[in-house]
Amino acid sequence: MTSNKKEFDYLIVGAGLFGSVFAHEAKKKGKKCLVIDKRNHLGGNVYCENVEDINVHKYGAHIFHTSDKRIWDYVNNLVEFNHYVNSPIANYNGELFNLPFNMNTFYQLWGVKTPEEAKNKIEEEIKELNITNPQNLEEQAISLVGKDIYFKLIKGYTEKQWGRKATDLPAFIIKRLPVRFTFDNNYFNDKYQGIPIGGYNKLVEALLDGVETMTDQDYFEDNEKWNAKAETVVFTGRIDEFYGFKYGKLNYRSLKFENQTLDTENFQGNAVVNYTDSETPYTRIIEHKHFEFGKQKKTVITKEYPQEWEEGKEPYYPVNDTLNNELFTKYKQLADQETNVIFGGRLAEYKYYDMHQIIGSALKKASDLI
């Protein structure tokens, strides 16, 4: 009698963090996995390209941060992390300010030296404008931090990010704006923060060690062939594409990256500089070597331009407005009926995730289902 057992326990579509963590956990439990990706590399959006001996974050800056000790220990058991702390600088028409909004920023804006002076200045601006029921993002932001911070450090950046006027964006996008009355430029409040020493490829290599992988493989070119290989499919791509866009396409914001290798050791003195005026077309410049305290003779910078997403561009940020969320709910109802397909990750769940959240989500799915 012949057995109908398939070659693999799991076919994992997508070699990003969700797929890689799931494969790692499945392998630990003695399961046989095949990980495929349509790109020519593993690692999804955390992939780094080596240019001039610098790890270039190919799909935008990735800074690992978490307050969850379990997740921090998990990644540090795989690779060693450095002590990089994200402290971006804002450039508004040539004036430089520290971010996030803290006592350094307030001193740079107004010359105030004490938390009380800074609080009074912000409260004075808020009171002056008397916005009681904010109708849009602009009014919401001004009612939280006043006009100076808003016009210099929020308005231009936000409008470029969303491709919309701040007065046309809903107020709920900015529920709160973190304001610190201490001289602290650490952007994240999380307890743990850093970058893998040697770049994120090291983390992905450690996760996928001993797992069979194939790149340049488009699942949709012959999904029946791929499905036949495994008992269960773990799908981390676009959920609407999985269902042949039967209800229509979900929308995203995309990004365009412009890289330059410069014949200088240090271009801007910081990994991240945000351009908060409206005239500069990009939102920020990343200087990659600073993520790993690099001393290379050259440097690589990336200008980041937000853009509308269309087919053929990378889908980065889900547009979680009412229309798209309702559309996603329809696809999720189909997904919930599947018996041998597991959906996970940013595109399959149509949800913005930080890296530690993706890892947490993959660990939970793996422990619940394997």
The residue among 307, 267, 262, 265 whose CA lies nearest residue 285 is 267
Q: Specify whether 253 is catalytic.
A: yes
| pLDDT at residue 128 is higher than 70 | yes
| pLDDT value for 174 | 85
Q: Which of 49, 125, 231, 354 is catalytic?
A: 354
What is the radius of gyration, based on Cα positions, of the chain?
23
Q: Which of 117, 253, 305, 317 is catalytic?
A: 253
Q: Specify whether 176 is catalytic.
A: yes
| pLDDT value for 3 | 54
| pLDDT value for 124 | 95
Q: Which of 304, 316, 346, 350 is catalytic?
A: 304
Q: Specify whether 284 is catalytic.
A: yes
| pLDDT value for 320 | 82
Longest dimension (CA), the chain: 84
Phi, psi of 350 (to 5 degrees): 45, 60
Rounded Cα distance, 65 and 186, in Å: 11
| pLDDT at residue 1 is higher than 60 | no
Q: Specify whether 180 is catalytic.
A: yes
Averaged pLDDT, 67-75: 98
| pLDDT value for 170 | 87
Averaged pLDDT, 97-125: 97
Rounded Cα distance, 21 and 16, in Å: 9
Averaged pLDDT, 18-24: 98
Q: What residues have CB less than 8 Å from 327, skipping those under 6 apart?
A: 240, 247, 248, 250
Averaged pLDDT, 38-53: 97
Q: Which of 39, 180, 238, 346 is catalytic?
A: 180
Q: By percentage, how much of the chain surpasses pLDDT 90?
A: 91
Q: Cβ distance 231 to 340 under 8 Å?
A: yes
Rounded Cα distance, 19 and 9, in Å: 14
Reduced to 3 states (helix: H, G, I; strand: E, B; else coil), residue 311 is coil
| pLDDT value for 177 | 84
Q: Cβ distance 351 to 319 under 8 Å?
A: no
Q: What residues have CB less than 8 Å from 13, skipping those under 6 apart?
A: 19, 36, 37, 219, 226, 233, 234, 235, 236, 237
Ranges of beta strands (E only) in 46-151 are 48-51, 54-57, 64-66, 89-92, 95-98
Q: Which structure tokens are listed for 174? A: 């900015």
> What is the enclosing helix (H) or strand (E) of 300?
strand 299-308
Reduced to 3 states (helix: H, G, I; strand: E, B; else coil), residue 138 is helix
> What is the enclosing helix (H) or strand (E) of 75?
helix 69-76
Please, what is the Cα angle at 316 between 314 and 320, to 5 degrees? 130
Per the listing, tokens 């269960």 go with 232
Flag the least confident range among 58-62, 109-113, 173-177.
173-177
Averaged pLDDT, 91-104: 97
Q: Which of 176, 221, 263, 279 is catalytic?
A: 176
CA–CA distance from 196 to each of 88, 93, 273 (Å)? 19, 34, 21
| pLDDT at residue 220 is higher than 70 | yes
Average pLDDT of the chain, as a whole number: 95
Q: Which of 150, 284, 292, 346 is catalytic?
A: 284
| pLDDT at residue 62 is higher than 60 | yes
What is the full DSSP assignment across 240-286? HHHTTTTT----EEEEEEEEEEESSS-SSSSSEEEE-SSSSSSSEEE
Rounded Cα distance, 207 and 194, in Å: 18
| pLDDT value for 369 | 84
Flag the least confident range among 130-139, 186-195, 209-218, 276-285.
130-139
Strand partners, 81: 196
Averaged pLDDT, 155-180: 90
For 224-235, write each residue's pLDDT tens digit: 999 999 999 999
Averaged pLDDT, 91-115: 97
Averaged pLDDT, 84-100: 97
Q: Specify whether 352 is catalytic.
A: yes
Q: Specify whether 331 is catalytic.
A: no
Q: Cβ distance 77 to 196 under 8 Å?
A: no
Q: What residues have CB less than 8 Å from 7, skipping those under 6 apart?
A: 32, 34, 229, 230
Rounded Cα distance, 46 and 42, in Å: 9
| pLDDT at residue 4 is higher than 80 | no
| Residue 174 or residue 291, greater confidence | 291
For 253-279, write each residue's pLDDT tens digit: 999 999 999 999 999 999 999 999 999
